[in-house]
Structures are given as C-alpha cells and as structure tokens.
C-alpha cells in the first residue's frame, strides 16, 4: 500500500513551521511541547540554569524569549552549533542517546535527561523481528521519512506520511487506531517521535523499528 505517498509532496522547509500542535508534553516529566514533529524547549529570560527531560529521538528546538544567537554545546552527544540554527540549515538538533547530558547554551548551562519512550501499547523491535512480523501478520506499515528518502528506498507495502505533517493528518490513520501500526524512519529517531504522536492521539498498538531502514538494509532485507 503506497496510496498515501502522493498526498505529501510538500516543501519540507514549510512543513517544519506549519504543523498544528499535537499534544503539549502531557507527560508530567517531559519538557516543552511537541509541535510538527519537533520538541520546543522554553528558555526563560534571566534563568541561567536550564534542566530538561526529553525522549530519545526527539528533535529539539529552543523557544527563546531573549533574541540573539547562542552557542549550544552538548559534548557527550558531539553537538556544537549555533541556536537558532543558521538560515538554510535544519532548525533542530537530534537527541540520539539516553542518559544525562550536560550542556551549555550561551551563558546558560544545565542538563538534558534523555529517556527511552516506554508506554503501554508501545514496543520496539529489531529489523529481523519486523521482517518476521510482516511475513506473518498484516500491520499498517508507516514510513515517516521525507518523500525523497522514500523514493530512494523503502520497505515494500509502506505508506508515507512524513513526521512533520503526521499530527495534522491523523484522520488518514483513524481506521487503524486499534490495529498494529509498524513505524520506521532512517535510524529510529523520527519513528520514535511519530510513535509518541500516535500514542498521545489514542492509538493502541504502536511498534517502532528500533534502528530504522538503515539496519533493515544492513541485514540484507529487501527494499524497493
């Protein structure tokens, strides 16, 4: 099934800022708000000590009250960049690893605690487990990458809805709300964000391909 693909050929620079909010960090311990596939973290004026808790796979953007450019350093994640990101670059930084990560943002500092997504109705599986699942059952297979990535290679039978526009197109998945939905991206980060969006919307059987299509291809599993 690929019928969703052609609905979403939209410039990605527009998508990053036009999506409606899905959830607002309803989890009490998770910082900021999730919007358009990005997690926005507040930066309070005058507060020099910043501590956040996010999920592994989150794409974080900082909500600045004080305008300007700030150097962001997260040494344990090999992140050293300017926020807001320079024009023409992706506006976010990707959080790939769980744990506690010290960071500085301009003159501010703090800790980003990164958690694995662990909720009822959610599980992560390996590439081989996903292949076995697809061979023996019929989950709805959701690709949340970009249209260009999908065209390069995708798992047979997958449906494309980029994570940036998933929140505003949940009605397309409504009939699968109580069925298995297997989600994948390139490496397992965007699919984690997409999983959270669907769980917050009441979907009941979400399965995440932990290391994405990259691991699928490494295991010599077939793509189109």
Mean per-residue pLDDT of the chain = 86
Q: Give the tens place of pLDDT for each residue, 82-137.
A: 999 888 888 899 898 999 999 999 999 999 999 988 888 999 999 999 999 999 99
pLDDT at 4: 55
CA dist 176 → 142, 170, 200, 203, 205 (Å) = 11, 10, 15, 8, 9
Question: Out of 2.60.40.420, 3.20.10.10, 3.40.1010.10, 2.10.109.10, which CATH number does the structure's domain 31-115 have?
Answer: 2.60.40.420
Topology (CATH) of 5-10+118-218 = Oxidized Rhodanese; domain 1 (3.40.250)
Q: Give the tens place of pLDDT for each residue, 20-77.
A: 333 333 456 899 988 877 899 999 888 889 999 999 888 899 998 778 899 999 999 9
Question: Closest Cα to residue 114, out of 154, 60, 38?
Answer: 60
Domain boundaries, the chain: 5-10+118-218, 31-115
The structure's pTM equals 0.75
Q: For residue 16, is pLDDT > 70?
A: no
Q: What is the mean pLDDT of residues 186-207?
A: 95
């Amino acid at each position: 099934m690929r019928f969703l693909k052609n609905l979403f050929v939209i410039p990605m620079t527009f998508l990053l800022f036009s999506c409606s909010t899905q959830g607002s960090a309803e989890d009490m311990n998770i910082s900021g708000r999730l919007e358009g596939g990005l997690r926005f973290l507040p930066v309070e004026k005058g507060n020099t000590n910043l501590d956040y808790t996010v999920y592994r796979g989150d794409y974080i953007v900082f909500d600045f009250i004080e305008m300007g450019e700030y150097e962001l350093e997260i040494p344990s994640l090999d992140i050293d960049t300017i926020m807001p990101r320079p024009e023409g670059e992706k506006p976010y930084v990707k959080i790939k690893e769980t744990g506690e990560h010290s960071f500085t943002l301009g003159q501010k500092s703090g800790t980003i605690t990164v958690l694995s997504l662990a909720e009822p109705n959610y599980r992560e599986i390996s590439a081989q487990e996903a292949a076995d699942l697809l061979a023996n059952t019929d989950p709805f297979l959701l690709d949340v990458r970009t249209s260009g990535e999908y065209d390069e290679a995708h798992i047979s039978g997958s449906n494309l809805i980029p994570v940036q526009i998933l929140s505003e197109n949940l009605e397309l998945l409504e009939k699968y709300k109580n069925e298995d939905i297997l989600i994948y991206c390139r490496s397992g980060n965007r699919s984690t964000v997409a999983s959270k969006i669907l769980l917050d919307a009441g979907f009941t059987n979400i399965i995440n391909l932990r290391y994405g299509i990259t691991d699928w291809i490494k295991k010599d599993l077939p793509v189109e």
